[in-house]
Amino acid sequence: MKKIAIFASGSGTNAENIAKCFSDHKHIEVAVVLSNNPRAGVHERMKRLEIPSFTLSRDEFATGDAVLKKLSEHDVDWIVLAGFMNRIPPVFMNVYPDRIVNIHPALLPKYGGKGMYGMHVHEAVVAGGERESGITIHYVNENYDEGQIIFQAKCSVAPEDTPEDVAAKVHRLEYAHYPEVLERLLTGTV
């Protein structure tokens, strides 16, 4: 059984989708959710799903010791980022080499990097006159959104689309593809 820890900072819709997809899986389990935000909606979502979730401070994530202890307590094999807003320090990559995965709401390398998250990305895509956007699932390295790309899926952007329209299209791609790609990674069928 491969055990996942999800790191999330916000409402937790992707975390909930992943947890539901793996709720009865024979080989994959969401073991714990960790957040840097005590008011994050992800905690309530995980409570309903009976998955433990904890808040650790920004400093605890930065130094890593308390977070790594919590991951060890839950026998975590992989870390999955789902709307997590902190940079991942190198100590995590040392303990979980090529086992930390993130999803970005654009087609990297465009519209990535520090400050490019959520609606900021969709606003930039529309302002840039892009004809397509999408998702990028990638391994995490020491730089924002620069890890090796695992998977991308595209959606069209019409000239009349608002950032909210693009966000809705991208969310549909996230929900459809993130669990599927994670399953292939964790079961070795990528």
Residues marked as catalytic: 104
Report which residue type is found at 46.
Answer: M
Burial class of residue 100, CB neighbours in 10 A (0-12, 13-18, 19+): buried
Q: Which of 102, 100, 117 is nearest to 163 (CA)?
A: 117
Using only C-alpha atoms, the chain has a radius of gyration, in whole angstroms, of 16
Name residue, tokens 């190198």. 90
Please name the helix (run of DSSP H) or strand (run of DSSP E) that holds residue 190, with its range, or none. Answer: none
- 102: alpha, beta or left? (left if phi > 0; alpha if psi -120 to 50): beta
**How many angstroms separate the CA atoms of 36 and 30, rounded?**
18
**How many angstroms separate the CA atoms of 86 and 108, rounded?**
18
